[in-house]
Structures are given as structure tokens and as C-alpha cells.
């Protein structure tokens, strides 16, 4: 749910992820502009190019193959995809969600996103297409942009603050893990308030395979609950 104009502009700044979990989309739906921090360094074995789905054998990682050898320090938006991957990922998704209650209904719009990114060469762009497409499926119309769209100054808190200023933000919404290192006083001095999204208290929903697991891709929620997916997300209940 986006902030009203009378409350100013709310911004979130997070690295792009591959088919993220529902909490990521709740943050997108809670702000006026969501900014990919994709000029940040690419990190291996992280959410940037992989995520989990449920299977009858447990959790399965789906990973976009990327080129990293000899490229230590490259940014997310400079990271290239190494080889064809979409058909293999879709086969895994189809095989494991075919029996989900709403797979038949929701397969076409999700499959079309995989078709669109099949020839994409850069990870950040592929993530953008998938995330924006899933937002459309969920009815989220938040503006999505990149950190490189704005002048960036400094590191860590200073970097985030410079983006917020350039984007005209009056409020910054962060993920909960950032509370341990954010220099709140710098935001307060700039007249920008901060809050942290709470990932606790999500309701369980019917999943094809048990036991229940929250920490899986949003597609799990979409295929299992269909049009009711929004009712299991916090931002739509506000």
C-alpha cells in the first residue's frame, strides 16, 4: 500500500533478487518508489541470482548461472548471465507446482515472464522484468527504478541517504536487518524519517508439500492461492 501524497514520498532501496519471497513484494507495495541498489557489489551464494521453491523432496534452489570468474568486485547490474537457464527453471517449477490449486490459472502469466527474459544477458535486467511482471500479477503499481538513475555519494548510510535525497523522499522504508547498522541520525538531520518493515506474523496458506515454509519464492504463494495471494500479504491488509 503506497503512502498518501499528504505524507510525502516513501522510498525503499534494496538489491534486486531473483523471484523474491512475499516480504520483498510487501516492501515494494508499501512505498511510492522502489529502487534497485544494483550498482552494489554482486555477492555469490546470495539472493541476487537464486531462490527456493518447494518440492516433494524438500526445498530446491533455482539459480541463474552468472559469470563471476576473475570479476571480483563487479556490480549486480554489470553481472552477465552465463548460459541459457529459463527452460530448465520453468521445467522445475512446472513439475513441482503442477498439482498446486491455482497452477493452471496462473501458469501462463508467469511462464510469459520466463519467455521474456530468455534472451536477457544481464542479471539485473532479468530480475527487473520478473519482479515488475509479478508486481503486475499481484496488482502492485509502484514505480521501480535503479540506483544508477540517481547521483550516488558516499558509502553505506551516506549512499542510501544521497539516493533518498535525489529521489525526493521524505520517508525511507528499510528491511529489518538494516536496523543494526543504519546511522539514523544522518537521515534525521536531512529531514527524512525511517521505519523498518516487520517480516513477522505472516499467515500460513495451503502449500502442495508440507511442512509449511515461509522462506520461498513468491511464485509458491501465487500458484497455491491464485487471486487470494494478496490476502496473505501484509501490505494489502493495511
Check whether 179 has a pLDDT greater than 80.
no
Find the helix or strand (DSSP H, E) in which 50 lies.
Answer: strand 50-55
Beta strands in 101-156 (DSSP E): 143-146
**Pair 111, 118: CB distance under 8 Å:** no
Contact 153, 42 (CB under 8 A): no
| C-alpha cell read off for 66 | 552468472
Residue 146 near residue 124, CB atoms below 8 Å: yes
Residue (of 201, 205, 198) closest to 222 by Cα position: 205
Question: What pTM was estimated for this model as a whole?
Answer: 0.94
Q: pLDDT category, 7, cuts 50, 70, 90?
A: low
Instruction: Domain ranges for the chain, please list them.
Output: 9-237
* Residue 5: pLDDT over 50: no
Please write the tens of the pLDDT for every residue from 123-153. 999 999 999 999 999 999 999 999 999 988 8
Amino acid at each position: 500500500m503506497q503512502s498518501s501524497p499528504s505524507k510525502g514520498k516513501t522510498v525503499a532501496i534494496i538489491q534486486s533478487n531473483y523471484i523474491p519471497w512475499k516480504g520483498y513484494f510487501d516492501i515494494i507495495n508499501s512505498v511510492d518508489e522502489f529502487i534497485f541498489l544494483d550498482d552494489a557489489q554482486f555477492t555469490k551464494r546470495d539472493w541476487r541470482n537464486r531462490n527456493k521453491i518447494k518440492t516433494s523432496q524438500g526445498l530446491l534452489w533455482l539459480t541463474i548461472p552468472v559469470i563471476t570468474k576473475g570479476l571480483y568486485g563487479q556490480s549486480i547490474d554489470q553481472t552477465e548471465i552465463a548460459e541459457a537457464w529459463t527452460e530448465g527453471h520453468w521445467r522445475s517449477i512446472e513439475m513441482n507446482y503442477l498439482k498446486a490449486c491455482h497452477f493452471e490459472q496462473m501458469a501462463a502469466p508467469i511462464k510469459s515472464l520466463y519467455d521474456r527474459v530468455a534472451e536477457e544477458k544481464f542479471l539485473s535486467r532479468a530480475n527487473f522484468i520478473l519482479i515488475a511482471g509479478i508486481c503486475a500479477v499481484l496488482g502492485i503499481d509502484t514505480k521501480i527504478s535503479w540506483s544508477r538513475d540517481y547521483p550516488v555519494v558516499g558509502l553505506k548510510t551516506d549512499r542510501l541517504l544521497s539516493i533518498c535525497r535525489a529521489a525526493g523522499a521524505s520517508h525511507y522504508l528499510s528491511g529489518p536487518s538494516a536496523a543494526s547498522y543504519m546511522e539514523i541520525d544522518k537521515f534525521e538531520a536531512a529531514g527524512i524519517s525511517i521505519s523498518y518493515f516487520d517480516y513477522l506474523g505472516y499467515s500460513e496458506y495451503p502449500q502442495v508439500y508440507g511442512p509449511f515454509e515461509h522462506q520461498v519464492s513468491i511464485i509458491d504463494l501465487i500458484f497455491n492461492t491464485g487471486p487470494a495471494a494478496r490476502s496473505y500479504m501484509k501490505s494489502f491488509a493495511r
